Amino acid sequence: MTELAAGAVSSLLVVIRNEAVLLGGVRDDVQFIKEEMESMNSFLAHLARSAPPGGEHDDQVRTWMNQVRLLAQDCNNCIDLYLYSGNPEIHRAKGRLRRHLWWVYWSLRKLVAQHRAAVQLRQLKDRARDVGERRLRYGVEVPAKSAAAAAGKSPTATKGAALDAAGGYAYAYDAGDGEEDYEDQLAVATATHHSARRGAVFEPPALDDYVKEKLMEWVKGVPERAIETLSIAIVAPDADNKEVLALAHETLVAPAYYYRRSIMVNVPAVHHYSLPLRPKEVLFYILRQLEREEAAGSQKLPTDQSEWEEVDPDPWQDYYKKCGIYRRKKRVLYKIKRKIEKMNIYEKLEKIKSDIQDGQPKRDKQLRLQLQKKGVDQVDLHVLLQLLLLQSQQEQPKNKALDMHKLPEWNDNTASSKAQQQDKSAAKQATKTATTALDEEQIKQMINEAKQDVLRELLGAKPDKNQAKGEPDVPPDKNQATGESAGVSDQNEEAYFEEIKQKIEEIKQEFKEQLKIKGIVDKIKHHLFEYMIKHDLANECPLIILKFDEMMDGSRWEGIRKALSLLECSADALIFTTESTEEAKGYCYPPREPIDYSLVGLYHYTVLGLTSKHKNEDNYNPQIFRDILEECEGHEFCMKIFTHALYANPKRSNEELSKLHSTLQASQKSFDAIAKKMFMYSYNDLPKEYKSCLLYLAIFPKGQKIRRSTLIGRWVAEGLTFKEDWPSSVRQANRCFDALIRRWLVYPADIGATGKVKSCVVGDPVHGFITTIARKQHIVETRLSHHLARHFSIFNDLRLRSSDRIHTFFHSLSRSSRISLLKVLDLEGCQCFGGKNQRYLKDICSKMLLLKYLSLKGTDITQLPSEINCLRELEVLDIRETKVPANATVNVLLLKLKRLLAGHIDPSPRNFGTSVRIPARIDKMVNIEVLSNVKAQYRDDLEDIGKLWQLRKLGVVIDDKNSHLGNLLKAISDLHECLRSLSITTPATTLEGTPSGSELPDDIGSRLKHHPKILESLSISGVRHLFPLLTKGNNNKLAKVTLSSTPLNQDNMKVLAKLPRLECVRLRHISCTENVLIFEEDDFEYLKYLLIEGSNLTNISFEYGAACKLEKMVLSSTSVESVSGVDGLPKFKELELNSCGRLLSSFRNAKQIAKLTLRGTLLKQDDLQIIAKELNIRCLVLLDNSFDISQNQITFEKEEFIWLNHLIVDCSAITKIDFTSGSAPRLEKIFWSSFTSLSGIDNLPRLRELEFNGYLVQNEVKEAIENNKRINLKHK
C-alpha cells in the first residue's frame, strides 16, 4: 500500500512541476496542493522504511494511505483535464471550419476549463487539508525508531532490492516493444535452458541432468594412474533405482570411454539379511553375476545395459533362491580352502609359533640389533612378531591392547606401492598374465609382505625418504631404543608366550580370510580376461555397480573397497543406497559428498553453485540451505521460489536464512502454508515499484499468457514505473519484468530467438497470493471479475458487477461520469463493434480524454473515427489484426503517441499481409518510437520518417520503386544513431526463375551515407541486394536477421557468417544460387536459432566446428532432402519440423536433441521408433497433422521414450495414446486435447500433472487420478 500511495503522489508532483506555466490560472490552489503532497510524500517514505516484517501496516495506517492515494489521483486527473482543454495543439488537428476558427473555440473552451478546474481544485485543496488533519486527529504516526529498526529490512534484503532495480537487461529500448511478429512467433521456445547471464532465463537443471553432471564431475576427477578402487554413492529411493541406473550407465559406460563394461549386483536380492555381509560375500556375488552373464550366452555389447536382479515378490521363493546362492558360495569357498590346505600355510604358521616358543626371549635391544644386521629380508617372521609384541606392551598404558585388524592387510603394500610405481597400462598387462590359483610362491610373497607390514607398524607406519625412493627399509638408529625400559625379563614368561600364541592365531585367521578373498579375486580376473578377449577390448576396466540397503553401512565399505582393489584393473564402484546422505558418505572414496537423487539434493546443489562466491565469508553456512529446502516438504514450487530468490540476490546473511528456517519450522506442514511463507520471503525483498507491478497482474485470469509488450505499455500508462520521461519509464518496466522472471514469481511462457522472454504466465499459487494482497490494497475491485478487470485501468471506480459483460460497459458509456478518468483500455479480442456498434469506438474517443493505452487488437472494428485525435494523451495505439482499411490512419495526429502498431503479417510468401498508411502529419508526431507495418504511399512519407529522431523500431512497406528505396535509405541514414529494429517489405512479385544478378544502382546506394550503428534486428522481404548494403559499416550489434522472398548467394552467407553477434537467422522462401547450404568451420560463432522455410535448397551441411552454439532449428515446408553434421552440434537441443517429416531420419544420430516439435509431418508408427529409441527426447510436441490420418492410435511400448518427461498432443489425427508398462518411465506432464484419449497412464510412475483442453475428461483418466493422489489435473 505504501508504494502505491507514494507512486500516486510522486506522479502528481512531476505533473505539477512540468506544467507549472500552464497552471498559472489556478496557481495558489495548486501550490498548496503541491506543498501538502510533498509533506505527505516524505511521511509515506518514512512509513515505507518502517514497514513491519509482514510488509503491512495496521488498518489505521493503511486507510490513511489509501485516502492519500485517491486524493493524489483525483488531483492528477483534474490537472490533466484542465491541461487537455487549455492546450491549443489539439484543436489545430480539427478539419473544415474548425481549422480556420480554432482559436475562437479554444479561447472559449479554455475559460470554461479554467473555471471548472478552479472549482475542483478548491475542493481538492480542502480535501488535502482534511487528509493532513485526519492523520493528526487519529494518531497516524511513524513507528518508534527502536521498533522500526527491529522490524526493518536486513541489509541483504535491501541489497536484493537494489540488485533487482539494477538487474536485467540494460535496455536503452525494448526492441520487441512493438509486435511479436510472425518470425518471433516462430522463434519462441519453452523456457528450459539454463543461462548464467543476469536477466536471461534461469532455471535449475533437470534432476537427471544434475545427476549426470555430478557423475561426470566424479569420473573426471579419478586419477589416471589410480589402481585402487575408487567409489561414489548415489542416494535414491527404491522406486527410482532403475531410472538412475540407466542414467549412470548411459553416462559412464555407454560411451565406452571411461569404463568398458558394467557389473551390476543387487545385494538385497541375493544376500539374506540375517547373514553377515563381508568382502568375500560381495566378491562372490560379483563372480556369480559374471558367471550368470556367461552362462546366458548374451549377445549384448559390452556397453549395453543389463538389469538388476530383483527381489522375488514371493517371500518363500526369495528365501529359497538366497539359500541356493548361499550353498553355491560355500562350495566355492570350500574349493578355495582345499587349495589353501594343500599349500601347508597353517603348518608354516605353527612352525613360526614353535620357533618362538623354543627360542629364548630376547630383549628389545637385541632384537633390533639383529634386525639392523640382517635386514628385513633375512630376519625370520617370529623375530618381527616379538618386536611387535614388545612395542604393544610398551604402548599398552596408552592403547590398552594392539588391534590386529589395524595392521595393514597383506594386500595394502601391493595396492599402494604399485599404484605409485606403475601406470594403468602396466597394471592391465599384469592382469593378463595373472594366475588363477594360489601357489607356493604367492604364499612366500604374502609372508614377506606381512613382514614388511609388521615392520611398518613397528616404525609407526611412516615410510622414510629411502622408502619413498624405493630403497630397502633402514631400521632406526640404535640410540632410539636405548632409553626404553620395557623388556621380556619384566614380564611373566608364561603370559608372554600365551600372548604370542594369540597373535599367531589372529594372523592365521587373517591369512585365512585374505586367502579366500584372493581365491575369489583370481576367479573374477579370469572371467574378466576371457570377456576382454572375446569382445576384443583393449582392457577390462569395469564399473562395478552395487546396490545396498540398511543391511550394509558405510563403515564396513572400506574392507570391501580394498578387496575390489585386488582386481588391479582400474575397477571403480558405484553404490546405490536408500540411506541418508550423511550415512552414504561412508561409501565415497576419496571422501566427498554423495549424489542425492532427490529434489532437495538437486536444489541444494544449485543453491551452493549460486552462492559459491560467498563461501569464504565468515557467516557462510551451506547446511542452512539444505535445512530450508528440507522444510519445503518435497514441494518443488517452494524450493524453486527459494532458489530463484537466491539467484536474484545470492548474498544472504546467516541471520536472515536462520530466521526463514525458524519460520518454516513453526508453520503448518501444508503446501499452502509453506508456499505462502516462501512467496513472502521473495516478495518482501522486491523494490516497492516492482511489488506494485506484480500485484497489477492479479487483474489477469490465472494461467493466461501475457505478452511482455502489453505489460510494459500498461505499467507505464498506469504510472507504476513512472520516471521523468517515457524511455526511462520503459527501461524501468523492462527491469521489473526481468526481475519477476528472475525470481520465478512469473513464469516465462515464450522466449525469442535471442533469449529474450516474450510473454509470461502467472502460476496458480502466485496468482492466489497476489490477488489476496491486491484486494487488501484495493488494487483489484472486488466487484469486477477477471474477465472484466483486465480491460480497464486499476482504481477505475466503474459501476460494474461481476456478472456484467463488456457490452454492459459500452451501453453505459454515455451515462458514466468516471470513464473520462480511465488511462488504460485493453479490448484485445473483443468482438463487440459489429453493425451499429461501430459507434462504441467514437464514444470511447469522445469520452475517455485521458486515455494513454488503447488496444483494439483482434477486434472487429472496420474504421477509425476522426475523433481518434481527441485522445491527446494517447501513447500506445494497437490496431493489429483488424479490418481497418489502409487509409484509416492517414489523418491520425496524436502528438504524444509513442507506438503505432498496425497491420497483419501473413506467413504466405505471396501475401505479405496487410498494412496501414503512414499518417500524413507524421513529421509532427516527433515522440513516436515504434511504427509497425506502415506503408509509404508517397516518397515524402519516407522523408518525414527521417525526422523522427526518437524512432527505435520501424516496420515499413514500400513499392518496388527506385525513388521509394532511395528515400528510405536516406531516412535510415538520418536515423542511424537511434534505429534498433528495421523491417523492410516490398509486395511479392514472383519467386520463379533465376534471381537477377544486377546490383543496386549506385545513385540509390549512395543515399545511405551513414550505416545504422546500433541496429539489432533486420528483416528484409522481397527487396533484392539490400542486405549486403545495410550490413556494411561498423555495426557489431546485429543479433537477428530475417531474409524473405529474396535471393541469397554464397557471398551473402559469408557476410552473415562474419557478423560478430548474430544469434538468429531466418531464411523464408529464399532463392539460392546453389542448392546446398554449407555452414563452414568457425562460422556463425554465436548462432543459436536457425529457421529455413520454403527455400529451393536440397541439402544443409554443418562442418565440424560450425555453429557450435546452435540450440534450435526449425525446418518448414522446405525442399531440403537431407541435413548432415547435426550430430556435431554440441548445444543443439530443439528441433521443429513443419511439413517435412522425411527429414526426421537425418537427425537419428543427434542424441543431444531434448525437444522435438512435429507439425504436418504425417508420420507413421514406424517413424515413431526413430524418436522412441534413437533419440533422447525430453519433450515431444505433436501438433496438427503430425501423424497420418490412418495412424490414429499411438502405442508407447516398453523401454521406449525412457527420457521423455513432457508430452504435448494437439493433433486431430491421433485419437488414442496407449502407455504400456515400462514405457516413458520419466514422463511427468501430459497436455492433450479433446481429439485424443489416454490409456494406461497408471503405468507412468512419475506422472504428476495432466492438462486437458476440452469438455469432458474420460472416465479412465478420472479413475487413474482418484487411485493416484499425486496426479494433478488442470482442465481448461
**In this structure, are residues 965 and 958 in contact, taking their beta carbons and an 8 Å threshold?**
yes
H or E element in which residue 1017 lies: strand 1017-1021
Q: Which three cell numbers stand for residue 763?
A: 502460476
> Which residue in the block uniquely carries the three cell numbers 497483419?
904
- Other beta carbons within 10 angstroms of residue 201's beta carbon come to 21
- Other beta carbons within 10 angstroms of residue 478's beta carbon come to 11
Q: Which three cell numbers stand for residue 1110?
A: 546452435
- Half-sphere exposure at residue 537, Cβ-oriented, CA atoms within 13 angstroms: 23
Q: What is the DSSP string of 401-445?
A: S--GGGSPPTTHHHHHHHHHH--HHHHHHHHHT--SS--HHHHHH
Cis peptide leading into 397, omega within 30 of 0? no
For 547-580, letters b (16+ CB in 10 Å) and e give bbbeebebebbebbbbbbbbbbbbbbbbbbbbbe
Region for 614 from its dihedrals, namely left if φ exceeds 0, alpha if ψ lies in -120 to 50, beta otherwise: alpha
What's the residue count for the chain? Answer: 1276
> Within the chain, what is the greatest distance between any pair of CA atoms?
139
Nearest alpha carbon to residue 1150 among 1115, 1182, 1117, 1186: 1115
Cα distance between residue 720 and residue 714, in whole Å: 9
Q: At what angle do helices 493-534 and 381-399 cross, to 10 degrees?
A: 110
Nearest alpha carbon to residue 635 among 681, 596, 600: 600
In angstroms, the Cα distances linking 113 to 4, 78, 94, 118 are 29, 10, 19, 8
Nearest alpha carbon to residue 722 among 3, 70, 2, 1: 3
Region for 1199 from its dihedrals, namely left if φ exceeds 0, alpha if ψ lies in -120 to 50, beta otherwise: left
Give the strand pairing for 953-957 and 1216-1219.
unpaired
Q: Which three cell numbers stand for residue 522?
A: 583370481
Nearest alpha carbon to residue 164 among 745, 760, 779: 745
Nearest alpha carbon to residue 178 among 902, 1145, 1163: 902
Q: Strand pairing partners for 1099?
A: 1076, 1122
Cα Rg of the chain (Å, integer): 40
Cα distance between residue 633 and residue 674, in whole Å: 8
**In this structure, are residues 696 and 794 in contact, taking their beta carbons and an 8 Å threshold?**
yes
Cα distance between residue 31 and residue 37, in whole Å: 10
**In this structure, are residues 859 and 829 in contact, taking their beta carbons and an 8 Å threshold?**
yes
The reported pLDDT for the residue numbered 828 is 92
Cα distance between residue 179 and residue 420, in whole Å: 66
Nearest alpha carbon to residue 1183 among 1165, 1216, 1156, 1151: 1156
Cα distance between residue 338 and residue 154, in whole Å: 74
Handedness of CA 978, 983, 986, 987 (dihedral sign): negative
In angstroms, the Cα distances linking 712 to 708, 729, 742 are 6, 9, 16
**In this structure, are residues 1089 and 187 in contact, taking their beta carbons and an 8 Å threshold?**
yes
Quote the mean pLDDT of the chain. Answer: 76
**In this structure, are residues 759 and 707 in contact, taking their beta carbons and an 8 Å threshold?**
yes
- The burial of 401, by beta-carbon neighbours within 10 Å (0-12 exposed, 13-18 middle, 19 or more buried), is given as exposed
DSSP summary character for residue 1252: E
- Half-sphere exposure at residue 989, Cβ-oriented, CA atoms within 13 angstroms: 10
Nearest alpha carbon to residue 82 among 136, 20, 125, 157: 20
CA angle 83, 87, 92 (to 5 degrees): 150
The reported pLDDT for the residue numbered 276 is 86
For residue 1189, give every residue at least 6 positions away whose Cβ sits within 8 Å of its Cβ, in sequence order, or none: 1213
**In this structure, are residues 1048 and 1024 in contact, taking their beta carbons and an 8 Å threshold?**
no
Q: Which three cell numbers stand for residue 666?
A: 513453526
Cα distance between residue 786 and residue 210, in whole Å: 40
Cα distance between residue 1203 and residue 208, in whole Å: 9
**In this structure, are residues 589 and 556 in contact, taking their beta carbons and an 8 Å threshold?**
no
The four Cα atoms 890, 896, 899, 904 give a dihedral, to 10 degrees, of: -30
H or E element in which residue 932 lies: strand 930-935
The reported pLDDT for the residue numbered 557 is 87
For residue 746, give every residue at least 6 positions away whose Cβ sits within 8 Å of its Cβ, in sequence order, or none: 694, 697, 740, 760, 761, 762, 763, 766
φ and ψ of 1036, to 5 deg: -115, 20
The segments of the chain whose pLDDT lies below 50 read 20-23, 93-98, 145-152, 168-173, 175-176, 178-199, 376, 395-440, 458-489, 491, 990-998
**In this structure, are residues 563 and 278 in contact, taking their beta carbons and an 8 Å threshold?**
no
Handedness of CA 149, 150, 156, 161 (dihedral sign): negative
Q: Which three cell numbers stand for residue 476?
A: 632406526
Cis peptide leading into 255, omega within 30 of 0? no
Q: What is the DSSP string of 525-553?
A: HHHHHHHHHHTT-S---EEEEEEE-TTS-
Cα distance between residue 1110 and residue 1129, in whole Å: 7
In angstroms, the Cα distances linking 549 to 236, 241, 277, 285 are 11, 12, 12, 15
Cα distance between residue 1212 and residue 14, in whole Å: 57
Cα distance between residue 981 and residue 1038, in whole Å: 9
DSSP summary character for residue 981: E
- Other beta carbons within 10 angstroms of residue 480's beta carbon come to 10
Cα distance between residue 283 and residue 565, in whole Å: 11
Cα distance between residue 1114 and residue 1099, in whole Å: 15
**In this structure, are residues 1099 and 914 in contact, taking their beta carbons and an 8 Å threshold?**
no
